[in-house]
Amino acid sequence: MDPAATMSNTDCSKIIPLNVGGRKMQVAKNTLDLIPVIKMKLKDEWKHDVGTDGHLFLDVDPDIFQHILDRARHPTHFPIFWDKIRGFDYNRYNRLEAQADYLGFSELSEWIGRQEYLKTVQIKMGKPEIHEIGRIGIWDIETVDGNVEVERQVLQKTRSLRVCPRGIAVHVIPADQQKRCGRDCERAKGESGCDYIDETYEVLVTLRKTITLNPEAQG
Ligand SMILES: [Zn+2]
């Protein structure tokens, strides 16, 4: 097939056959015109890089190229390479940056270079909720949205308890609370003994993280 003939055909010139690193695809010329190096190839160097099958050959990774096309097609959306387990895929961003740079698609390579992609994922930490274990009977079953992560941690804490000289259980309370011992207790105490003991207790700390993906993040 003669590529020049292909190009001269009005209908075919709107759809360009590409061979991207061995993967064949067809892309609208309008989309490709947004990628400077390809636009230039389509104008001037068309014949040099066109194979016998009429496909314009681009020596780039086709998986990465797909993100360049996505960006050209949807200019308000930036690529998000992130997941909950591994976080950001920096390697993929690096490869995309290099390819965008190579193709003259500088707006995207600069966006990656400035690490603007860090803003595409926002993690909002809620205030920690602290409950004393023993006072919360059965743990509540909770349903959360897929973008919410719940972390629970049991912490050991120590506090000082005021001891009742008469051994009355309800008088034994944390030292920072209002005394419950009355005059009889004071009398029973006499001159002896310590008033306070340390107690270890456990609290359940619940943290909620809300994760928001924002593909429109702009610096
Ligand atoms: Zn008492």
| Residue type present at position 24 | K
23-55 tens-digit pLDDT: 999 999 999 999 999 999 888 656 667 777 889
Q: What residue ranges of the chain are covered by domains with CATH 3.30.710.10?
A: 3-114
- Crossing angle for the helix pair 90-102 and 106-113, nearest 10 degrees? 150
Q: How big is the chain, counted in residues?
A: 219
Q: Which two tokens stand for residue 80?
A: 């998000």
CATH fourth-level superfamily of 3-114: Potassium Channel Kv1.1; Chain A (3.30.710.10)
- The average pLDDT across 189-195 equals 69
pLDDT confidence bin for 215, thresholds 50/70/90: confident
Span 72-83, average pLDDT: 94
Q: What percent of the chain has pLDDT over 70?
A: 86
Summarised one tens digit per residue, pLDDT across range 133-187 is 876 555 667 788 889 999 989 999 999 998 888 888 888 888 888 888 888 888 8
CA of 176 to the centre of ligand 1 (A): 15
Tokens of 117: 């992609």
Span from the CA of 177 to the centroid of ligand 1 (angstroms): 14
**Ligand 1: centre distance to CA 168 (Å):** 6
Q: What CA dihedral angle connects 58, 62, 66 and 69, to 10 degrees?
A: 0
**pLDDT on residue 134:** 72
